[in-house]
Amino acid sequence: MKTIAAGVLGMSIGAAAMLYAQPAKVKGGFIVQHDADIAKNEPGTHDGGGQTIGYSFFDKTPGMKFVFRKRALHPGAGVGHHEQHEDEVYYVLSGKGVMTVDGTAVDMTPGTAVLTRPGSTHSLKQIGPDDLVVLISYEIK
């Protein structure tokens, strides 16, 4: 009987040691980034022309499953015509532009959101005297 009790006690101590030996799983957390720290002068994407400032938030963060960007398109800049391969959202913060989606022109003004779906085509052109500032987000495949 002592042998069985000692065995059970030994297994219990071993199991407890395994519980304490495993690293705790990290929960939560956060990362803060500011425009000024990540801003990059870049040409209009997809050969859209002109000059922009790109802000690729969290692009070096392991395990990110989506892209979150801000782009300021200076007067005359654009995003060139291209086919979409994943859902992508454009949201206008300020300025004016015209997005052409599948041949349809959409006025882009503050508060406007456009979802482009896989297989669609689109381009975006800044118009007016002020930068067109948009947020862009899409899933990483």
- Domain parsing of the chain, residue ranges: 28-139
- Fold of the 28-139 domain: Jelly Rolls (2.60.120)
Q: What per-residue confidence (pLDDT) applies to 23?
A: 59
Nearest-angstrom CA–CA distance, 120 and 137: 16
- Residue 95 identity: G
Q: What per-residue confidence (pLDDT) applies to 18?
A: 46
pTM for the full model?
0.80
Q: What per-residue confidence (pLDDT) applies to 141?
A: 81
Which residue would you say has higher pLDDT here, 89 or 21?
89
**pLDDT range class, residue 22, cuts 50, 70, 90:** low
Nearest-angstrom CA–CA distance, 129 and 126: 9
Nearest-angstrom CA–CA distance, 97 and 95: 7
**How distant, in Å, are the alpha carbons of 33, 54, 91 from that of 36?**
9, 11, 20
Q: What per-residue confidence (pLDDT) applies to 72?
A: 98
Closest C-alpha to 89, from 137, 141, 57: 137
Q: Is the pLDDT of residue 9 over 50?
A: no
Distance of CA 129 to the CA centre of its chain: 28
